[in-house]
Structure formats: structure tokens, C-alpha cells
Structure 1
Amino acid sequence: MRDTILYLKNANIYQKNLLILSNVNLKLERGAFSYLIGKTGSGKSSLLKVLYGDLPLLEGEGGVVDIDLVSLKNSEIPILRRKLGIVFQDFQLLTDRTVEKNLIFVLKATGWKDKFAIGERVEEVLDSVGMGTKKHKMPHELSGGEQQRVAIARALLNHPALILADEPTGNLDPETSNEIMILLKNISKKNHCAILMATHDYSMIKNFPAKTIKCEDGKIFHGDSEELFVINE
């Protein structure tokens, strides 16, 4: 039976005391893939930041991976993020170390200590994104698509039940974007991992239809890709 991995109820989302989204009601089930769409400044990133603890949830109710967002303390944010995978548009890889050492750094920072287990997990996630032969490369030696694959591998390290992806194809060409979308869809299905992906790439949404949440005029709307697709955005 599928269960809720993320929910917001009557939530108001603020950024620097400015109300960005009001009366947000949102639920995502384990293993589901959903898009978060809307124009620049519509509140997509603010909503994601609330979900991974970068902004507080001041009004309403909410929870992510069994952690209450309303009562979330600063000291508990690392615990929340260990249960999530987060993928950014600009990859955010550490440029001074290899792919392998990027991933080792994250595992050690999240409490892994056994050297053999660390090495094994790094191999597993790199193989799962087709980057098993590139672990000794530096980030600048990789293409944009390869860097994003490494970023996705990093997001998978701690077996997350939910991945939050903020414009993961925003810096990629159309062909590479398609490859990343296929990868994300396969990960969601194979790992039974929920994915909430913010995007403004409507061609991607049409090519890979899924349930869609739209931010517009300070509200959110739910529907299928076709229902919420607006040609002039």
C-alpha cells in the first residue's frame, strides 16, 4: 500500500516576511513522480526550501519523510536532509576533488564510518546513473549531463524515500535533458522513490507526462500535465 511521504495542509509559505504562497495543500505518495511548475518568482523554489528545511513553515501543517516541519529545529535539519535527495540546477559539486571523493565526503558527513561500506555504496550509485567509469574524474572534466548524473548519484547515497529536484535540466541541452528525465523516471520506479521536480521546461513536461502542481498568483493548483500546461508561459 502506498503511503504519504510529503504533505502540506493549509500552509503559508513566506520568504523574508513576504507571503509567497497561501493555503497550500499538497500530498505526495511514496514512489510518485510529480512536477512543480510556474513562472520565475511564482514560489517553486520557496516551496522546495520549506520541504528541505531551508525556510521555516510558520503557518499551517506539514511533514516530510515522517518529520514535522512546523516543530523542526535547526539541529534537526541535518536529520531531515539525510532522508532526502536534493538535486540542483547548478550541480553543486565540490570542484576541488574527484567524483568519488565528492560522494565519500557526503557519506562521511552523514555518519558513514565503515570504509568498505562507503566504497561499495559509491560504486553502487555511480553504476546506477551510468557513471561507474568516471569516479576518478574531476568535475571540470565532465560534461554538464555527466555532472548532473553525479549530482543524482549523490542524492541517492542515503537511500532517500524522496528526491527534490530544482530545475535539474535547466542548464542542459534538449538531448541531455531527455536522458536525465529518463534516468529520474527509472530511479523513481526502480527504487520506489518519490520525486518532486521543479521545472519551467514545458516541452519536457509534454514529453514525460506526470501529475503536476502549478504555482500561480500565490496559490497552487493540481492536475495532469495537459490540464495545467499554459502555452504562453
Structure 2
Amino acid sequence: MSEPIIYLNNASVYQKNHPVLNNVNLSLARGNFYYLIGKTGSGKSSLLKVLYGDIPLKEGEGKVADVFLTSLKESQIPSLRRKLGIVFQDFQLLTDRSVEKNLIFVLKATGWKDKEEMHSRIDEVLESVGMLSKKNKKPYELSGGEQQRIAIARALLNHPELILADEPTGNLDPETSRDIMLLLKSIVEKTRCTILMATHDYSMIKNFPAKTIKCEDGKIFHGNSEELFTK
């Protein structure tokens, strides 16, 4: 049996020296889709930030994609993030350059050097999200759903073992949100990477049930989406 992609043991999550989650025990298997739910301020985003190295893990043990969080030095954060893909609610695309140049920027920042390999990988990920024809467009020329597809393509560039998605459908209409969910689910099936998706969209979870982690009252609970919504 393979090592879990995310492992936390008696971990505490802090936001500006204020504990938001205590005694977190979490073990997520590889190749699965998980939801992360909870009210605003319950610690969802802080937990994700710990997982991608934006907030240090001060207490307990933690490991993400075989990288130890407890002893993580600032110089090691780039190597952790090369194993991850991160998708944000507000897309975080650079508006002054084309889609292709957005993706080139990420590849260069993560150590890619060969131009031919970079262009080949960009075409690959854009095709996988149905956006190859948009590579010369600038983000502001695209719809919200198209921008989020580009953001997902960006997250896929380095063949991630894990994608952390923070409210990826939060700014999208219901039909576009459904399309993004179908895309994320298909990525898990095709690539066997793990996706952990924070969301408030309960109708989405009802339509696409999956294993779920809930942040509430400084603790986390595990179960399926139906159980945790009735808690």
C-alpha cells in the first residue's frame, strides 16, 4: 500500500499566531477526489496554505507528496510546489500576457529550460482542458469558465501528484461550475493525481458526491458528503 499523499498527525494550524484548527489527524490516499468544506473562517484556506507551504506547520507532524512539512525550510518550498498544482477562486492569471506566456512563466519558474519541451507541454495541458485554441488570447479576452480552465491547465504543467483547489467554482455560474467539476473529476481518473477541493457549493457536492473533510469548531471531521452535511 502506497504512502498517503497528505498525512497530518496531531497538527495545529495557525493563522497569524491564532490557532484555527487543533489536533488535526488526516490521511488522504493517492488517486482520489476529496472535498474540504466548512463555514467561512473555519480554517479551510489556512489548512490548504499549510499543505502548500504558505503557512508553516508549527505543531504536530505533516507530510505532503513525501515532503515533510514540520522541518520545511523556505528554500525547500519551491521543490514542494513542483509536486503540487494549485487552483484559486480568482484564477490569478497575469493579465498583461497571453495564455501561452502565462504558462511559459510558470515552467521557467519551476526549472524548465528546453523551449521545444515547454511548448509541447503547454499544448498538451491546454488540449486536456479544451483550451488549445485560446493559447494566444489574453485572460481578459476569456470568460470566467475559460480562465478557470487555463488555471487548471497551469496546475497540471508539472505532472502534479496533488492538486489543491480553493473554491475553484466560487466565481462561476452553475452550468460553468458543473463543467469545471466534470473536468476535475476526469483529471483524477486519467492522471491518478489526488484533488482536494475546498468549496461552499453544496449543490455541487450533492451532484458529485465524494469523500469529504469538514472543518468545524477548530476540528476536522471525515466522512462522505451526505453524512457531513447533516451534522
Equivalent in the alignment of 1:37: 37
User: Distance between the aligned counterparts of 1:211 and 1:15, measured in 2?
Assistant: 26
Offset, 1:28: 1.1
Equivalent in the alignment of 1:206: 206
User: Distance between the aligned counterparts of 2:137 and 2:130, measured in 1?
Assistant: 14
User: Distance between the aligned counterparts of 2:115 and 2:78, measured in 1?
Assistant: 22
Question: Once the two structures are aligned, what percentage of the paired residues are identical?
Answer: 77
Offset, 1:3: 3.7
Offset, 1:196: 0.3
User: Distance between the aligned counterparts of 2:92 and 2:198, measured in 1?
Assistant: 17
CA offsets, 1:162-198, max 9 Å, x none? 0000000000000000000000000011000000000
CA offsets, 1:132-168, max 9 Å, x none? 1000000000000000000000000000000000000
Offset, 1:18: 0.4
Look up the equivalent residue of 1:6 and give its one-letter code: I
Offset, 1:230: 4.1
Count of matched residue positions in the alignment of Structure 1 and Structure 2: 231
Look up the equivalent residue of 2:135 and give its one-letter code: K
Equivalent in the alignment of 1:144: 144
CA offsets, 1:40-96, max 9 Å, x none? 000000000000000000000000011000000001111111110000000000000
Offset, 1:199: 0.4
Equivalent in the alignment of 2:187: 187
Equivalent in the alignment of 1:56: 56
- 1:223 aligns to 2:223 (yes or no): yes
Offset, 1:229: 1.1
Look up the equivalent residue of 2:137 and give its one-letter code: K
User: Distance between the aligned counterparts of 1:211 and 1:8, measured in 2?
Assistant: 17
Unaligned runs of 5+ in 2: none
TM superposition score normalised by structure 2:
0.99
User: Distance between the aligned counterparts of 2:115 and 2:132, measured in 1?
Assistant: 18
Equivalent in the alignment of 1:89: 89
User: Distance between the aligned counterparts of 1:65 and 1:3, measured in 2?
Assistant: 9
Look up the equivalent residue of 2:215 and give its one-letter code: C
Matched position secondary structure for 1:150 = helix
Matched position secondary structure for 1:11 = strand
Look up the equivalent residue of 2:140 and give its one-letter code: H
Equivalent in the alignment of 1:16: 16
Equivalent in the alignment of 2:131: 131
Matched position secondary structure for 1:227 = helix
- 1:160 aligns to 2:142 (yes or no): no
CA offsets, 1:195-230, max 9 Å, x none? 000001100100000000000000000000100114
User: Distance between the aligned counterparts of 1:219 and 1:204, measured in 2?
Assistant: 24
User: Distance between the aligned counterparts of 2:230 and 2:95, measured in 1?
Assistant: 38
